[in-house]
Structure 1
Amino acid sequence: MASLGGAMVSGTDGTDFHYRQQVAVPHKTSILNKSRLKYCIFFHALLFFVMLAKLTPDILDRLDIFVMEIEELQIPQPIWWEYIWCLSILSSFLGLSAVRGNKIREIKKYMMLITIVGILPIVYCLLYYFPNVWEFLFLEIDNKVEGAEILLWKNYPYCILWYAFCVIGIQIHLFTIFFSWNLLKTWNARITSRKCQ
């Protein structure tokens, strides 16, 4: 090696490393966004299991299965948006398939499904519980929480628990859309560059 005072290859001074083969920028971008999208799908799955745990008493009631320990939790009855949001986990399979094969059409469908069955139900939840959250925050300032008609679960305001879920969920879904959009742009750019050649 030249830096160690050893023999040097004739015709080079050792600074030609800039011209060696490198991974193209679109490939790096694609790999990075694929990895990040997989993380988003993983966190989406974790959030799905949290929702499934919340829905378990209602599912068991519909199946006429009685489990005393679950009934003692007194979990409030679900609203329709919770079941619709649970369908968003099915879109993850479409997203993983699109990532595996660089499929533009499937990543577009995935983004559309996440928006419809992932983001819209969460937005509905935010709007549905907004009056309760507003009332809770307003009454908290006046220290009159005892007189409020806010649903509590295990001494926690139910609306605030849903807002915590929604904040996490909306972040995961927005990051999912963002990384999917980056992948879509990268894959489209690769296709147009191939057509130009």
Structure 2
Amino acid sequence: MATRGVPSDWSSSGMDGLDHGYRQRIAAHYQASATAKSRLKYCMFLHYMMALLMLAKLVPFILDKFNFFILAIEELEVPEPLGWEWVWLFGIFSSFFCLNGIKKNNYTSIKNYICSIIIFGYLPLIYGAVYWFPEAYMFIFHKGDGFRDGWYDIQLWKGYPYGLLWFAFIIPGFQLHSFTMYFSIALLRAWKPRSLRNKDD
């Protein structure tokens, strides 16, 4: 029997159409969430790899502080670390926010992860880029004007400009954090309450 006051064709096909559209929207948000989670995990893996590189650079200083002497490491003559290197390395612990957010679909954890990436990711790299930019600039654009004669006071490591070597780390670091931010925000948008999504639309 048709519902009173509602056309029979609307109550069947119309409601089915609305329900189908709703299911499609839900499926799209689930797919967006799954994709963002997968790519965030990949970004975290790359973050761990870069953190291992940074830790390897800091190992000589750490061993020296604990009075451990390993000749092969001492012979590398790795320059002492700057403060921003430690800050960036400690930023790896922010991944616990991300892991918790992905595992529990926790909106707040992902927001905390974004904030920690800004503080412990972007800011130290910006400081490092500003600190080493003058030396990298001088080596690239003015090395023929007197660099080889010792006119410019540029720090070298194993014959290579130390500042320029740091940019081989800083630039990929910026790219990694940017991808991480993008996928984190995509995840937040997929998890946003439906009422708020409708307002945005």
TM-score (norm 2): 0.81
Counterpart for residue 172 of structure 1: 176
- The answer to whether the 8 Å contact 1:60/1:66 transfers is yes
Letter of the aligned partner of 1:95 in structure 2? C
Kindly state the Cα deviation for residue 138 of structure 1 after the two structures are TM-superposed.
2.0
Hey, what does 2:119 align to over in structure 1? 116
1:104 Cα deviation (Å)? 0.5
1:126 aligned residue: 129
Find out whether 1:153 has 2:187 as its counterpart: no
State how far apart, in whole Å, the 2-side matches of 1:189 and 1:30 are.
13
Q: What amino acid is the match of 1:122?
A: L
- 8 A contact 1:54–1:75 mirrored in 2: yes
- Which range is displaced more, 146-155 or 176-185? 146-155
Counterpart contact for 1:129–1:159, Cα < 8 Å: yes
Q: Counterpart in 1 of 2:47?
A: 44
Mark the runs of 5 or more structure 1 residues left unpaired by the alignment: 1-18
In the alignment, the residues of structure 2 paired with residue 191 and residue 53 of structure 1 have an alpha-carbon distance, to the nearest angstrom, of: 48
The count of corresponding residues between Structure 1 and Structure 2 is: 174
Matching of residues 19-168 of structure 1 within 5 Å: 24-140=27-143, 142=144, 144-146=146-148, 147=150, 148-168=152-172
Question: More displaced, 176-185 or 145-154?
Answer: 145-154
Q: Percent identity?
A: 43
**Residue equivalent to 2:188:** 184
- 1:97-116 deviations in Å (ceiling 9; x for gaps): 10111100000000000110
State how far apart, in whole Å, the 2-side matches of 1:160 and 1:56 are: 21
Moved over 6 A (4+): none
Deviation at 1:170, TM superposition (A): 0.7
Shift of 1:163: 0.7
CA distance in 1, matches of 2:41, 2:81: 29
Secondary structure of the 2:192 match is helix
1:145 maps to a residue whose letter is F
How far off its partner does 1:134 sit? 1.4
What letter corresponds to residue 166 of structure 1 in structure 2? I
